[in-house]
Amino acid sequence: MASRKTKDKTVIRALGLGGLLGGSSEGLVDVKDGKIVRVRPFHYDWKYKKEDIKTWKMERNGKVFEQPWKSLPGPFSLAYKKRVYSPNRIKFPMKRVDWDPDGERNPQNRGKSKYVRITWDEATDILAKEIKRIHKAYGPYGILVQGDGHGECMTIHTPHGHSGSLLDKMGGFTQQVRNPDSWEGWYWGSKHVWGQGIQGGMFPAGNIVKDTTEHAEMVLFWGCDPETTPWGFTGQMPSRLTYFWKDAGIDQVYICPDVNYGCAVHADKWIPVLPNTDAALQLAIAYTWIKEGTYNKEYVKTHVVGFDKFKAYVMGEEEDDVPKTPEWASKKCGVPEWTIKALARQFARKVTSIAHYFGGGYVRGPFSHEPGRLEVCLLGMQGLGGPGRHHHQITYFGLPRSNGLSGTFFWNPDLADRLRTPSLTTINAWQKQLIPKTYIHDAIEANEPMTFYGSGAIEVDTTDQFKKYVYPLPKKEGGTEIHMIWSDTPCRTTCWNNGNATELALRNPKIECIVTQHPWMENDTLFSDIILPSNTHMEVGDIVSSIRGGTSIPNVALCDQAIEPVGESKSNFEVVLEVAKKLGMEKAMTGGKTDEDLKKEMFTNMRLDKLTTWKEFREKGYYLYSVADDWEDDSPGLRKFYDDPEKNPLPTPTGKLEFYSEALAKNFPHDRERPPVPKWIEKGPTHDERLSSERAKMFPLILMSNHGRWRVHAQADDIPWTREAPTCKIRGWDGYMYEPCWIHPSEALERGIKHGDIVKVFNERGIVLAGAYVTERIRPNVAYMDHGARVDMIKVGEIDRGGAINTISGSGTSSRNAVGQATTAYLVQVERLSMEEMDRWRREYPEAFEREYDPASGLCVNAWLEGGEK
């Protein structure tokens, strides 16, 4: 048979969705006739010979783990084509039909009114005029920039922060501070035990994969899903590693309320704990060790401060306190007493590491700093830093160091000083007037200045958590309430705390203009006044470093443009340039440099000029890093501290592991939600979300929210091919594809719910519709829904059909003095939705049901265009 031409050209792409500071999940994109034909894994030997690159391997019990010679992207990365050609793509600039910058602005109709097409010229004229007007009326801090978070993997055209770069040159702006959105408990908790760390996790964490491979006998996957969260960041390396560990004889124990996707295929033992009750389980483990004398007393003596106070609390020696026995813990955490004891004994007997990736339910609930701190205490009691005893963000940190890279943290060589300005907004609080992302809705609605401790920025010192901030700043410092929002990050409603309150806040008349730049018509975008169409990575060329831990072979690639932009869309950088032109700021933004100049500049910033030449790099299209010759000598994790804590102190005030934090005691003497010694917090002024609560009489299930298997936060909810997986969406009797809500058969039976029924998941904060997924993969007492499904409001601020479960999560932060989000482990009820109730909503909110909808991919941009797409 005559062969067919199967492509015209091939370009490299970073297909990850972690975005912000570099790429991952590299792939090759084949293009034919100007369209993407296929997206496939990257075979690194495309332009390199295998013998030219030095790779690593690890061994245990005769089994060998090697670097794969291809990338291992997750399924949504491999279905990237569907995101590019999604029926939800915004193809041209739009204006809300009843928003008139020279007349009535109708903020009360945000989230309800439709849009009309306008030209780029009209859109940028309006926007330039609004910026000038706000600056004049209120000052530069009158504009809030939401320009941070995850997204597609680009460098020059990075999806976030360009508007901040522009406004910074015009006097500054109010910055939405990007807070931890996956590691809350470590950031607000663990940092007070072992110091700064990266994002609060263990640091240094170099070379721990090899050390664990060689020495560990057991790994506790504590709230960790190695088959889900890594997908968006670097792909499926943790899958291969955990299969290898199994082969090598390392026990894998999963402690989580759900049979998550890692547990489903890797677990030697599943311990189904109730959501956000891990602190009780941890305390009972500590109790058992103290009672039986099975902790490392020598290590504790030399490496820990405050053990006496910790011990007194655990053993119930304090006044009015109870011993934290397995019997006590069992009632809190729902694990049988005998299994708690078995876990404690195994943990003491076997060389054990704890593995996470990013936190799912485990470190993201109310008071998440307590389990965050307690796990460090447990590791400390068994000699943290010793052979095989580590805290993993599995493969994200701890794989062998590459030659020419100082670490494996996104960037070469250092992070902050090498970043392009837009990315600053993602990691630093670099403006004067700040609002933590968790407080945006409160800040809009507040009539009095708000104060808070800690900006919550990723890269700030632990001491920032003791610093008092105020919004707005005093007038003499330029402070003002915000009156305009410019967002390239329109996902707050579905990814952050209390989305329903956010929806309502976005209608506040104080906010005179909301402009959003985004490729898809989704989530907060639906509340905008002006919408600018940005495009995807496929439509713009860039230079992207894929050196995040877990990349098969770290590399930097030139990602040449694959296809022409869809519609009139432009890259996020180009979108802001269009506005800059109208403000006379174009030159200030580009520095007079072309795209190719900027790529060369990045090449040098990445210090690739020390390793190769631009010419060779251009020709090959990518550079592969060899493993460092001496990588096996790199001291693993906290080994130096383990060996000699006096010479190698931790970055804590005392240099030791602080089981009692003097700094917390001094700064927050009255904080009973995050006391100096980590504790079990039943409830507090910030949260009352446990089964023991009075509220549980009305809302008797704990809602657990993980990172989505089929999404990265709000990204990739529109891929028809992942939506066919039975755990991705569930077709309701009305043909709508609902977000699944997992409940145990016993809970379903009690409620007359059958698999596939449309159910309502609700509490005082609103109602979310879902498809019942009745399964043994979740323990009783729990309703489980991933966050990040796109909002599809039946009634704004109250009823959501899209399955955006965070719309009904609490407003409160991690605790009183910790501005993390607490978007899992809160009380709800689940009921079968009757046809009568659905019909009533159809009558009351007809526009919500008349919007164009495509069951295969979900929401459509046409639904929001006056008269459909013109």
Partner 1 sequence: MKAFVIDLSVCNGCYACQIACKDEHVGNDWTPYAKPQPDTGHFWLGIKETVRGTVPKVMVTYVPMLCMHCADAPCMKACKPGAIYKREDGLVIIDPEKCTGCKLCMDVCPYDAIFMNSGLNIAQKCTGCAHLLDDGWEVPRCVDNCPTEALKFGEEKDLKKYIAKAEPITPDVKLKTRVYYLNTPKKWVSGTLYDPKEKEVIAGAKCTLTDLETREAIIDETNAWGDFWFRGLPDNRRFKLKIEKGKKTVTMDSICTDTDRNLGDIALK
- Assess 45 for contact with partner 1 (CB under 8 A): no
- Among 652, 722, 701, 683, which residue's Cα sits nearest to residue 812? 683
SS3 322: coil
The answer to whether residue 50 forms part of the interface with partner 1 (CB under 8 A) is no
Instruction: Calculate the CA 552 to chain-centre distance.
Output: 22
120-138 vs 572-582: helix crossing angle, rounded to 10: 70
Which span sits near partner 1 by CB under 8 A: 287-295, 344-352, 374-382, 461-469? 344-352
Q: Is 275 in the site for partner 1 (CB under 8 A)?
A: no
In angstroms, the CA 452 to CA 468 distance is 6
Helix (H, G, I), strand (E, B) or coil at 703: strand
Which residue type sits at 84? V
Task: Give me the least distance between CB of 50 and partner 1, in Å please.
Answer: 16
Q: Is residue 707 within the footprint of partner 1 (CB under 8 A)?
A: no
Residues 6 or more apart whose Cβ sits within 8 Å of residue 817? 453, 454, 465, 668, 671, 673, 674
55 binds partner 1 (CB under 8 A): no
Closer Cβ to partner 1, 261 or 680, answer by number: 261
Is 447 a residue that touches partner 1 (CB under 8 A)? no
State yes or no: residue 261 binds partner 1 (CB under 8 A).
yes
Q: Which stretch binds partner 1 (CB under 8 A): 181-189, 261-269, 423-431, 791-799?
A: 261-269
Of 255, 342, 258, 373, the closest CA to residue 681 belongs to 373
Q: Per CB under 8 A, does 294 bind partner 1?
A: no
Residue closer to partner 1 (CB basis): 346 or 508: 346
* Three-point CA angle 115, 120, 122, nearest 5°: 75
* Three-point CA angle 488, 491, 494, nearest 5°: 175
Q: How far is the CB of 53 from partner 1 (least distance, A)?
A: 20
First to last CA, the chain: 44
Is 39 one of the binding residues for partner 1 (CB under 8 A)? yes
Rg (CA), the chain: 26
Among 16, 18, 74, 675, binds partner 1 (CB under 8 A): 74
Structure tokens that stand for 285 in this block: 């483990």
User: Which of 324, 373, 401, 744 touches partner 1 by CB under 8 A?
Assistant: 744
Residue 636 in tokens: 């693993």
Contacts of 115 (CB under 8 A, 6+ apart): 94, 95, 96, 97, 531, 864, 865, 866
Question: Is 323 among the residues that bind partner 1 (CB under 8 A)?
Answer: no
Determine, following the binding rule CB under 8 A, whether residue 78 of this chain makes contact with partner 1.
Answer: yes
Task: Tell me: does residue 79 bind partner 1 (CB under 8 A).
Answer: yes
Tell me the window of 399-407, 633-641, 722-730, 826-834 that interacts with partner 1 (CB under 8 A).
Answer: 722-730
Site for partner 1 (CB under 8 A): which residue of 53, 126, 259, 769? 259
Q: How far apart are CA 506 and CA 29, in angstroms?
A: 39
Residues 290 and 132: their CA atoms lie apart, in Å, by: 65
Q: Residue 329 contacts by C-beta under 8 Å, 6 or more apart in sequence?
A: 280, 281, 283, 284, 287, 335, 340
Q: Is 361 in the site for partner 1 (CB under 8 A)?
A: no
What track of x and - describes contact with partner 1 for positions 212 through 251 (by CB under 8 A)? ---------------x---x---xx--xx--x--------
CA 654 to chain centre: 31
Task: Examine residue 339 and tell whether it contacts partner 1 (CB under 8 A).
Answer: yes
Residue 3 binding partner 1, by CB under 8 A: yes
Instruction: List CB contacts of 150: < 8 A, sequence separation 6 or more.
Output: 17, 18, 19, 20, 232, 712, 713, 715
Stretch touching partner 1 by CB under 8 A, among 55-63, 478-486, 561-569, 769-777: 769-777
Q: Which two tokens stand for residue 16?
A: 């990850």
| Residue 223 near residue 278 (C-beta atoms within 8 A) | yes
Q: Which stretch binds partner 1 (CB under 8 A): 202-210, 357-365, 592-600, 720-728?
A: 720-728
| Of positions 779, 787, 790, 801, contacts partner 1 by CB under 8 A | 779
User: Of 695 and 755, which CB lies nearer to partner 1 in the complex structure?
Assistant: 755
Question: Which of 271, 314, 348, 753 is the binder for partner 1 (CB under 8 A)?
Answer: 271
Q: Is the dihedral of CA 710, 715, 716, 717 positive or negative?
A: positive
Smallest distance, Å, CB 227 to partner 1? 6
CB atoms within 10 A of CB 615: 8
For the bound state, the minimum distance from the C-beta of residue 804 to partner 1, rounded and expressed in Å, comes to 23
Binding region for partner 1 (CB under 8 A) out of 93-101, 477-485, 616-624, 774-782: 774-782
Question: Is position 292 an interface residue for partner 1 (rule: CB under 8 A)?
Answer: no
Scanning 258-266, 367-375, 422-430, 501-509 for contacts with partner 1 by CB under 8 A, the matching segment is 258-266
SS3 state at 863: helix
Nearest Cα to 359, choosing from 826, 816, 821?
821
Q: How far is CA 423 from CA 21, 158, 560, 712, in A?
A: 7, 8, 21, 19
Residue 337 vs 798, nearer CB to partner 1 = 337
Choose which of 10, 37, 45, 862 interacts with partner 1 (CB under 8 A). 37
Determine which residue in the list 171, 249, 336, 651 makes contact with partner 1, applying CB under 8 A.
Answer: 336
Nearer to partner 1, 339 or 612 (CB): 339
Residue from 160, 332, 341, 639 touching partner 1 (CB under 8 A): that is 341
Residue of the chain from 64, 137, 265, 749 that contacts partner 1 (CB under 8 A): 265
Cβ-proximal residues to 466 (8 Å cutoff; 6+ apart), any chain = 453, 454, 663, 667
**Contact between 345 and partner 1 per CB under 8 A:** yes
Q: Based on the shown chain and the rule CB under 8 A, indicate whether residue 4 belongs to the binding site for partner 1.
A: yes
Based on CB atoms, which residue is closest to partner 1, 66 or 632?
66
- Closer to partner 1 at the Cβ: 464 or 852? 852
Cis omega (within 30 of 0) for bond into 73: no
Nearer to partner 1, 246 or 418 (CB): 246
Q: Does 396 bind partner 1 (CB under 8 A)?
A: no
Closer to partner 1 at the Cβ: 270 or 299? 270
Q: What are residue 270's DSSP bridge partners?
A: 254
Per CB under 8 A, 722 contacts partner 1: yes
- From the list 427, 333, 336, the residue with the least C-alpha distance to 825 is 333
Pick the binder of partner 1 from 321, 726, 750, 844 (CB under 8 A): 726
Q: For 256-296, what is the HEC assignment?
A: CCECCHHHHHHCCEEECCCCCCHHHHHHHHHHHHHHHCCCC
- Closest contact distance (angstroms) between CB of 338 and partner 1 is 4
Pick from 218, 169, 76, 819: nearest CA to 464: 819
Instruction: Confirm or reject binding of residue 594 to partner 1 (CB under 8 A).
Output: no
Total residues in contact with partner 1, by rule CB under 8 A: 59
DSSP string, 195-238: -STTTTS-S--TTHHHHHHHH-SEEEEES--TTTTHHHHT-SHH
- Identify whether the C-beta of residue 359 lies closer than 8 Å to the C-beta of residue 201: no
Minimum separation from the CB atom of position 237 to partner 1 (A): 8
Applying CB under 8 A, does 40 fall inside the site for partner 1? yes
How far is residue 870's CA from residue 866's CA, in Å, rounded to a whole number? 9
Tell which one of 46, 331, 338, 445 touches partner 1 (CB under 8 A). 338
Among 41, 149, 197, 365, binds partner 1 (CB under 8 A): 41
Q: Does 46 bind partner 1 (CB under 8 A)?
A: no
Contact between 72 and partner 1 by CB under 8 A: the answer reads yes
Contact residues toward partner 1 (CB under 8 A) are: 1, 3-6, 37-41, 72-75, 78-79, 81, 227, 231, 235-236, 239-240, 243, 259, 261, 263-265, 267, 269-272, 326-327, 336-339, 341-342, 345-346, 349, 720-726, 744, 775-777, 779-780, 856
